[in-house]
Amino acid sequence: MLADQPRAPAHAETMGHPFAPIPYTVRSVVLETPDTTTLVVEPHGDQRIPSSRPGQFVMLYAFGVGEVPIGVAGGNAEGQLIHTVRSAGKVTQALTHLTPGDTVGIRGPYGHGWPVANARGGDVVVVAGGLGMPPLREVVYELFRHRDSFGRVEIVYGARTPKDLVYYNEIQSWRRRDDVRLQVTVDAAGREWYGDVGVVTTRIPDCRFDPPKTTAFVCGPEIMMKLTAQALVERGVKPESTWISMERNMKCAIGLCGHCQFGPSFVCRDGPVFCYRDLAPLLAVREV
Protein backbone atom coordinates (compact mmCIF):
# COMPACT_ATOMS: atom_id res chain seq x y z
CA MET A 1 0.00 0.00 0.00
CA LEU A 2 1.40 3.34 -0.94
CA ALA A 3 0.86 6.73 0.61
CA ASP A 4 -1.14 6.86 3.72
CA GLN A 5 -3.43 9.77 2.89
CA PRO A 6 -7.07 10.10 1.93
CA ARG A 7 -7.26 8.88 -1.65
CA ALA A 8 -9.94 9.71 -4.14
CA PRO A 9 -10.60 7.15 -6.85
CA ALA A 10 -8.30 7.74 -9.80
CA HIS A 11 -10.27 9.41 -12.54
CA ALA A 12 -10.00 12.31 -14.90
CA GLU A 13 -11.55 15.33 -13.27
CA THR A 14 -11.78 17.23 -16.53
CA MET A 15 -15.35 17.41 -17.75
CA GLY A 16 -16.28 15.58 -20.92
CA HIS A 17 -13.75 13.44 -22.77
CA PRO A 18 -10.90 12.55 -20.39
CA PHE A 19 -8.24 13.60 -22.91
CA ALA A 20 -9.88 16.80 -24.14
CA PRO A 21 -7.84 19.83 -23.04
CA ILE A 22 -9.62 23.02 -22.08
CA PRO A 23 -8.25 26.15 -23.77
CA TYR A 24 -6.53 28.69 -21.51
CA THR A 25 -5.02 32.04 -22.46
CA VAL A 26 -1.56 33.03 -21.31
CA ARG A 27 -2.05 36.16 -19.20
CA SER A 28 1.56 36.84 -18.19
CA VAL A 29 5.03 35.39 -18.49
CA VAL A 30 7.96 35.81 -16.08
CA LEU A 31 11.45 34.62 -16.92
CA GLU A 32 12.65 33.00 -13.68
CA THR A 33 16.04 31.72 -14.88
CA PRO A 34 17.57 31.50 -18.36
CA ASP A 35 15.65 28.27 -19.05
CA THR A 36 12.65 28.52 -16.71
CA THR A 37 9.48 30.54 -17.15
CA THR A 38 6.42 31.12 -14.99
CA LEU A 39 3.15 31.29 -16.89
CA VAL A 40 -0.08 32.69 -15.50
CA VAL A 41 -2.96 31.33 -17.56
CA GLU A 42 -6.71 31.92 -17.37
CA PRO A 43 -9.71 30.17 -18.89
CA HIS A 44 -10.42 31.16 -22.47
CA GLY A 45 -14.18 30.80 -22.06
CA ASP A 46 -16.63 29.41 -19.51
CA GLN A 47 -14.98 26.06 -19.16
CA ARG A 48 -12.24 25.61 -16.58
CA ILE A 49 -10.60 22.69 -14.81
CA PRO A 50 -11.72 21.97 -11.22
CA SER A 51 -9.60 23.63 -8.55
CA SER A 52 -6.53 21.69 -7.54
CA ARG A 53 -4.93 20.76 -4.24
CA PRO A 54 -1.26 21.53 -3.51
CA GLY A 55 0.96 18.98 -5.22
CA GLN A 56 -1.45 17.95 -7.96
CA PHE A 57 -0.49 18.35 -11.60
CA VAL A 58 -2.14 19.04 -14.94
CA MET A 59 -1.37 17.99 -18.50
CA LEU A 60 -0.32 21.14 -20.32
CA TYR A 61 -0.76 21.01 -24.07
CA ALA A 62 1.37 23.17 -26.39
CA PHE A 63 -0.83 23.07 -29.46
CA GLY A 64 0.77 21.30 -32.39
CA VAL A 65 3.74 20.19 -30.27
CA GLY A 66 2.55 17.93 -27.48
CA GLU A 67 1.41 17.50 -23.94
CA VAL A 68 3.42 17.20 -20.70
CA PRO A 69 2.68 16.90 -16.97
CA ILE A 70 3.31 20.17 -15.11
CA GLY A 71 2.67 20.92 -11.45
CA VAL A 72 0.23 23.57 -10.31
CA ALA A 73 2.22 26.29 -8.55
CA GLY A 74 -0.80 28.41 -7.71
CA GLY A 75 -4.25 29.53 -8.71
CA ASN A 76 -7.12 31.79 -7.73
CA ALA A 77 -10.91 31.86 -7.57
CA GLU A 78 -11.12 33.35 -11.09
CA GLY A 79 -9.63 30.14 -12.44
CA GLN A 80 -6.17 31.56 -13.11
CA LEU A 81 -3.39 29.01 -12.78
CA ILE A 82 0.34 29.43 -12.25
CA HIS A 83 2.80 27.02 -13.84
CA THR A 84 6.57 27.20 -13.77
CA VAL A 85 8.18 25.34 -16.64
CA ARG A 86 11.78 24.49 -17.37
CA SER A 87 12.76 23.91 -20.96
CA ALA A 88 13.88 20.26 -21.00
CA GLY A 89 12.81 19.18 -24.48
CA LYS A 90 10.38 19.71 -27.31
CA VAL A 91 7.15 20.45 -25.43
CA THR A 92 8.57 22.33 -22.47
CA GLN A 93 10.65 24.44 -24.83
CA ALA A 94 7.48 25.43 -26.67
CA LEU A 95 5.78 26.24 -23.36
CA THR A 96 8.65 28.44 -22.17
CA HIS A 97 8.43 30.40 -25.43
CA LEU A 98 4.75 31.31 -25.06
CA THR A 99 3.85 34.98 -24.88
CA PRO A 100 0.80 36.76 -23.41
CA GLY A 101 -2.28 36.12 -25.52
CA ASP A 102 -1.16 32.67 -26.68
CA THR A 103 -3.38 29.66 -26.02
CA VAL A 104 -2.54 26.40 -24.22
CA GLY A 105 -4.69 23.37 -23.49
CA ILE A 106 -5.08 22.05 -19.97
CA ARG A 107 -6.63 18.89 -18.54
CA GLY A 108 -6.63 17.75 -14.95
CA PRO A 109 -5.93 18.26 -12.13
CA TYR A 110 -4.56 14.80 -11.50
CA GLY A 111 -2.96 12.76 -8.79
CA HIS A 112 -2.68 12.99 -5.06
CA GLY A 113 -1.11 16.08 -3.55
CA TRP A 114 0.69 16.83 -0.30
CA PRO A 115 -1.23 15.68 2.80
CA VAL A 116 -0.93 19.10 4.43
CA ALA A 117 -3.90 18.48 6.76
CA ASN A 118 -2.10 15.45 8.25
CA ALA A 119 0.63 17.81 9.48
CA ARG A 120 -1.72 19.85 11.67
CA GLY A 121 -0.71 20.04 15.31
CA GLY A 122 2.95 19.31 14.62
CA ASP A 123 6.04 20.94 13.13
CA VAL A 124 6.48 21.10 9.38
CA VAL A 125 9.62 21.15 7.28
CA VAL A 126 9.40 21.96 3.58
CA VAL A 127 12.51 21.15 1.54
CA ALA A 128 12.70 22.15 -2.11
CA GLY A 129 15.51 21.56 -4.57
CA GLY A 130 15.64 23.69 -7.73
CA LEU A 131 12.38 23.27 -9.63
CA GLY A 132 10.98 21.41 -6.64
CA MET A 133 9.83 24.78 -5.28
CA PRO A 134 6.84 25.29 -7.65
CA PRO A 135 4.99 22.13 -6.51
CA LEU A 136 5.60 23.20 -2.89
CA ARG A 137 4.64 26.86 -3.29
CA GLU A 138 0.98 26.21 -2.53
CA VAL A 139 1.95 24.11 0.51
CA VAL A 140 3.79 27.13 1.87
CA TYR A 141 0.75 29.39 1.38
CA GLU A 142 -1.54 26.75 2.89
CA LEU A 143 0.73 26.76 5.97
CA PHE A 144 0.66 30.58 6.05
CA ARG A 145 -3.16 30.65 5.72
CA HIS A 146 -3.60 28.23 8.63
CA ARG A 147 -0.47 29.19 10.52
CA ASP A 148 -2.00 28.63 13.97
CA SER A 149 -2.77 24.99 13.15
CA PHE A 150 0.91 24.08 12.85
CA GLY A 151 3.91 24.17 15.16
CA ARG A 152 7.24 25.40 13.87
CA VAL A 153 7.55 25.84 10.13
CA GLU A 154 10.96 25.45 8.48
CA ILE A 155 11.52 26.06 4.78
CA VAL A 156 14.76 24.99 3.14
CA TYR A 157 15.40 25.83 -0.49
CA GLY A 158 18.47 24.71 -2.39
CA ALA A 159 19.58 25.13 -5.97
CA ARG A 160 22.70 24.57 -8.01
CA THR A 161 23.65 28.26 -8.21
CA PRO A 162 21.92 31.55 -7.25
CA LYS A 163 20.66 32.00 -10.81
CA ASP A 164 18.80 28.69 -10.55
CA LEU A 165 16.61 29.91 -7.69
CA VAL A 166 13.02 30.53 -8.81
CA TYR A 167 10.55 33.00 -7.22
CA TYR A 168 13.57 34.74 -5.69
CA ASN A 169 11.86 37.99 -4.67
CA GLU A 170 8.72 36.26 -3.47
CA ILE A 171 10.78 33.90 -1.30
CA GLN A 172 12.72 36.83 0.18
CA SER A 173 9.35 38.22 1.30
CA TRP A 174 8.77 35.03 3.33
CA ARG A 175 11.86 35.98 5.36
CA ARG A 176 9.96 38.94 6.79
CA ARG A 177 7.60 36.61 8.63
CA ASP A 178 8.65 35.89 12.17
CA ASP A 179 6.66 32.65 12.37
CA VAL A 180 8.64 30.82 9.66
CA ARG A 181 12.33 29.99 9.36
CA LEU A 182 13.74 30.10 5.86
CA GLN A 183 17.12 28.80 4.73
CA VAL A 184 18.25 29.27 1.14
CA THR A 185 21.43 27.57 0.00
CA VAL A 186 23.20 26.92 -3.27
CA ASP A 187 25.78 24.29 -4.23
CA ALA A 188 28.25 26.87 -5.49
CA ALA A 189 28.25 30.62 -6.04
CA GLY A 190 30.26 33.56 -7.24
CA ARG A 191 31.39 36.42 -5.02
CA GLU A 192 28.17 38.34 -5.55
CA TRP A 193 26.28 35.82 -3.38
CA TYR A 194 26.25 36.53 0.36
CA GLY A 195 23.96 33.67 1.32
CA ASP A 196 24.66 30.09 2.35
CA VAL A 197 26.66 27.74 0.17
CA GLY A 198 26.47 23.98 0.68
CA VAL A 199 24.25 21.18 -0.54
CA VAL A 200 20.67 21.31 0.71
CA THR A 201 21.20 18.33 3.03
CA THR A 202 23.73 20.36 5.06
CA ARG A 203 20.89 22.64 6.22
CA ILE A 204 18.83 19.82 7.77
CA PRO A 205 20.85 19.66 11.02
CA ASP A 206 20.15 23.40 11.49
CA CYS A 207 16.38 23.02 11.18
CA ARG A 208 14.46 23.49 14.39
CA PHE A 209 11.69 20.95 14.82
CA ASP A 210 10.59 18.19 17.12
CA PRO A 211 11.45 15.18 14.93
CA PRO A 212 8.80 12.66 16.06
CA LYS A 213 6.11 15.33 15.67
CA THR A 214 7.32 16.65 12.33
CA THR A 215 5.90 16.23 8.85
CA ALA A 216 8.30 16.76 5.97
CA PHE A 217 7.42 17.67 2.39
CA VAL A 218 10.35 17.23 0.01
CA CYS A 219 10.42 17.98 -3.70
CA GLY A 220 13.25 18.11 -6.21
CA PRO A 221 15.30 15.79 -8.36
CA GLU A 222 15.14 12.18 -7.20
CA ILE A 223 18.67 12.01 -5.77
CA MET A 224 18.09 15.24 -3.84
CA MET A 225 14.84 13.86 -2.36
CA LYS A 226 16.49 10.59 -1.45
CA LEU A 227 19.44 12.24 0.36
CA THR A 228 17.18 14.79 2.06
CA ALA A 229 14.72 12.15 3.24
CA GLN A 230 17.64 10.11 4.60
CA ALA A 231 18.98 13.19 6.44
CA LEU A 232 15.53 13.89 7.90
CA VAL A 233 15.04 10.30 9.03
CA GLU A 234 18.54 10.35 10.57
CA ARG A 235 17.37 13.35 12.61
CA GLY A 236 14.40 11.34 13.82
CA VAL A 237 11.60 12.37 11.46
CA LYS A 238 9.41 9.32 10.86
CA PRO A 239 9.59 7.83 7.35
CA GLU A 240 5.77 7.69 7.41
CA SER A 241 5.68 11.46 8.02
CA THR A 242 8.05 12.21 5.16
CA TRP A 243 6.52 12.88 1.73
CA ILE A 244 8.16 13.19 -1.65
CA SER A 245 6.88 13.93 -5.15
CA MET A 246 7.95 11.66 -8.00
CA GLU A 247 8.28 12.39 -11.70
CA ARG A 248 8.00 9.91 -14.52
CA ASN A 249 7.22 10.37 -18.21
CA MET A 250 3.47 10.42 -18.72
CA LYS A 251 0.99 9.96 -21.52
CA CYS A 252 -2.58 9.42 -20.30
CA ALA A 253 -2.18 10.77 -16.71
CA ILE A 254 -5.22 8.76 -15.62
CA GLY A 255 -3.78 5.36 -14.86
CA LEU A 256 -4.47 3.68 -18.20
CA CYS A 257 -1.31 3.49 -20.28
CA GLY A 258 1.37 2.43 -17.79
CA HIS A 259 3.91 5.00 -19.06
CA CYS A 260 4.55 6.37 -15.59
CA GLN A 261 5.06 3.06 -13.83
CA PHE A 262 7.37 3.21 -10.81
CA GLY A 263 7.76 -0.18 -9.14
CA PRO A 264 4.24 -1.39 -8.41
CA SER A 265 2.70 2.09 -8.72
CA PHE A 266 1.63 4.47 -11.43
CA VAL A 267 2.91 7.94 -10.59
CA CYS A 268 -0.11 9.67 -12.19
CA ARG A 269 -2.67 7.62 -10.29
CA ASP A 270 -0.94 6.71 -7.00
CA GLY A 271 1.24 9.83 -6.76
CA PRO A 272 2.89 12.05 -7.66
CA VAL A 273 3.19 12.56 -3.89
CA PHE A 274 4.22 9.38 -2.11
CA CYS A 275 5.07 8.45 1.43
CA TYR A 276 8.84 7.96 1.84
CA ARG A 277 8.25 4.90 4.00
CA ASP A 278 6.80 3.11 0.97
CA LEU A 279 9.26 4.45 -1.57
CA ALA A 280 12.57 4.12 0.32
CA PRO A 281 13.26 0.54 -0.88
CA LEU A 282 12.53 1.52 -4.50
CA LEU A 283 14.72 4.62 -4.34
CA ALA A 284 17.65 2.37 -3.45
CA VAL A 285 17.18 0.40 -6.69
CA ARG A 286 18.85 1.66 -9.87
CA GLU A 287 16.80 2.60 -12.90
CA VAL A 288 13.35 1.72 -11.52
Partner 1 sequence: MTEPRASALAEALRNHPFFAGFDTAFVRAISAKASDQRFDVDEYLAREGTEAGLLYAVIEGKIALEIGSADRPHLTVQTVGPGEVLGWSWLVPPHRWRFDARAVKPSHAIALNGDVLRRTLRTHPKWGYEFMVRFMPVLAERLENTRVQLLDIHAR
Ligand X SMILES: Cc1cc2nc3c(=O)[nH]c(=O)nc-3n(C[C@H](O)[C@H](O)[C@H](O)COP(=O)(O)OP(=O)(O)OC[C@H]3O[C@@H](n4cnc5c(N)ncnc54)[C@H](O)[C@@H]3O)c2cc1C
Q: Which residues bind ligand FES (CB under 6 A)?
A: 250-253, 255-260, 266, 268
Q: Which is nearer to ligand FES, 163 or 259 (CB)?
A: 259
Which phi and psi angles does 77 have, rounded to 5°? -65, -25
DSSP code per residue over 233-248:
HHTT--GGGEEEE---
Give the CA count within 13 Å in the CB-facing half-sphere of 38. Answer: 21
256 interacts with, out of partner 1, ligand X, ligand FES, none, CB within 5 to 8 A per kind: ligand FES
- The set of residues, in sequence order, having a beta carbon less than 8 Å from that of 167 and lying 6+ positions away, is 32, 38, 84, 133, 134, 137
Q: Which is nearer to ligand X, 134 or 220 (CB)?
A: 134
**Does residue 107 contact residue 18 with C-beta atoms inside 8 Å?**
yes
Question: CA-CA distance, 275 to 229, in Å (whole number)?
Answer: 10
Number of residues this chain uses to bind ligand X (CB under 6 A): 22
CB 95, min distance to ligand X, A: 8
Cα dist from 147 to 21, 47, 57, 143, 232, whole Å? 36, 33, 25, 5, 22
Residue 259 within binding range of ligand X, rule CB under 6 A: no
68 interacts with, out of partner 1, ligand FES, ligand X, none, CB within 5 to 8 A per kind: ligand X
Q: Which is nearer to partner 1, 102 or 187 (CB)?
A: 187
Q: Which is nearer to ligand X, 88 or 223 (CB)?
A: 88
What number of other Cβ atoms are within 10 A of residue 59's Cβ?
26
- Contact set with ligand X (CB under 6 A): 57, 66, 68-71, 84-86, 88-92, 131, 134, 247-250, 267, 272
- Contact set with partner 1 (CB under 8 A): 88, 129-130, 158-160, 164, 187-191, 193-202, 220-221, 223-224, 227
